[in-house]
Amino acid sequence: MIKIGKKASLKFPVAFERDYSLNGRRAKHALEVGLASADWYHTDIPRKTIKALMRRSDRPALIDTAIWFGLLLLTGLGGVALWGQWWAVPFFAAYGVLYGSASDSRWHECGHGTAFKTDWMNNIIYHIASFMVIRNPISWRWSHARHHTDTIIVGRDPEINLTRPPKIIEAALRFTGILSGPKSLQIMFRNGVGFMTEDELNYIPSSEVSKVVLWARVHLSMYILTVLMCIVLWSIIPLMLVGFPRLYGCWHMVMLGLLQHGGLEEDVTDHRLNSRTLYINPISRWLYWNMNYHVEHHMFPMVPYHSLPRLHDLIKHDLPKPNSSISEAYRELFFALWHQRIDSDFCIQKKLPSTAKPFRKEFHDLKFTETSN
């Protein structure tokens, strides 16, 4: 059903802005109807099998991390050595993606505590990656926990990155980091002076707020030091190595991040309806640590990244057919965004194979009616 808002008298109908705040009407609605902290659908897997898949190992992540740091060093040094020449561009392009995009997947997997078997290793890489991607390591841990409890539940999930109706230009600008980078720093500054928004306080326990402030100050101090180094050396190179890569190298993170849930259903309790699995090239899979298997990750978040392909093979009979490539997934996403400009209820409804159990439908008829007030 198309909901036409207060601008219905205009020539082109415009869909109502949905209230994604965590203390608004949609949040109240989610709590009232039982969408918050609900029981979610899981594909049946024998206990022995899922235990084997959840088993941790340090080895894959140690190898990947050594390669990651090695490549960061090589490309960073290459870019600095060739500074002033065009040959520096490919080095910084590679360094930027390794810094500004691969840090996101390392942040994510180590935040889950699944990358390494040894938890202090998870914590160290989590903090390094949090700094690189300009995320407060405490508040984002809680934000992501909520994202997994209430995935794409409007008014509950703080990590819905494509809201409805879609802001297409803003989404396109995210590929440059030109808005999100400074915004992340602004949030860090706000947290650093001790101010939390109502939304942040909705998912961060009061006992953790002092840690949020502390880590924001640590991160800000490191950025101040980087700027001071630029002034002392009278060179932009320190910022090209620390900070700016989050802008010029974030495009790969954004490219795949928008596909995780974009254009799919909201307010459902079946990850097969609101998450997207797609096949991607091996380099992107390495940079992204297999998060292209996103339905599988949300169904079984404690399965480490290196076991996700095996999990996918095991349960794909119960999942919608994956998108065959990044470009095919983007065609699907653009189709959804185009329709959502005028119809916020529009979304892609995935088809299940005949071998799958039916979708959970109990919340599908509980549509929240948008009004202008």
Partner 1 sequence: MNNWITVCLKDVIEEEDVIRFDYDGRSFAIYRDLWNDYFATDGFCTHERVHLADGLVLDDTIECPKHNGRFNYKTGVALRSPACEALSTYPVRLENGVVQIAL
Strand partners, 293: 277
Residues 146-175 binding partner 1 (CB under 8 A) are 148-149
Considering only the stretches 111-119, 190-198, 352-360, 361-369, report the one whose residues sit in contact with partner 1 under the rule CB under 8 A.
111-119
- Give the whole-angstrom CA distance, residue 313 versus residue 186: 42
Using CB under 8 A, pick the residue from 208, 343, 345, 362 that binds partner 1: 208
Nearest to 298 by CA among 101, 108, 85, 69: 108
What type of residue sits at position 319?
L
Main-chain phi, psi angles of 277, to 5 degrees:
-105, 135
And the tokens for 334? 């653009």
Regarding 272 and contact with partner 1 (CB under 8 A), the answer is no
Residue number with CB closer to partner 1 (24 or 113): 113
Strand partners, 277: 293
Q: How many residues bind partner 1 (CB under 8 A)?
A: 21
Regarding 9 and contact with partner 1 (CB under 8 A), the answer is no
- Give the whole-angstrom CA distance, residue 362 versus residue 326: 31
Regarding 60 and contact with partner 1 (CB under 8 A), the answer is no
Using CB under 8 A, pick the residue from 302, 331, 361, 371 that binds partner 1: 302
- The dihedral through the CA atoms of 318, 321, 326, 331 has a sign that is negative
User: H or E segment at 93?
Assistant: helix 88-100
Regarding 57 and contact with partner 1 (CB under 8 A), the answer is no
Using CB under 8 A, pick the residue from 91, 288, 300, 359 that binds partner 1: 300
Residue number with CB closer to partner 1 (135 or 339): 135
- Vertex 344, ends 339 and 348: CA angle to 5°? 60
Regarding 362 and contact with partner 1 (CB under 8 A), the answer is no
Nearest to 276 by CA among 213, 222, 308, 320: 320
And the tokens for 113? 């505590």
Regarding 145 and contact with partner 1 (CB under 8 A), the answer is yes
Nearest approach in angstroms of CB 113 to partner 1 is 4
Regarding 221 and contact with partner 1 (CB under 8 A), the answer is no
Give the interface with partner 1 as residue ranges (CB under 8 A): 37, 47, 51, 54-56, 112-114, 119, 141-142, 145, 148-149, 205, 207-208, 300-302
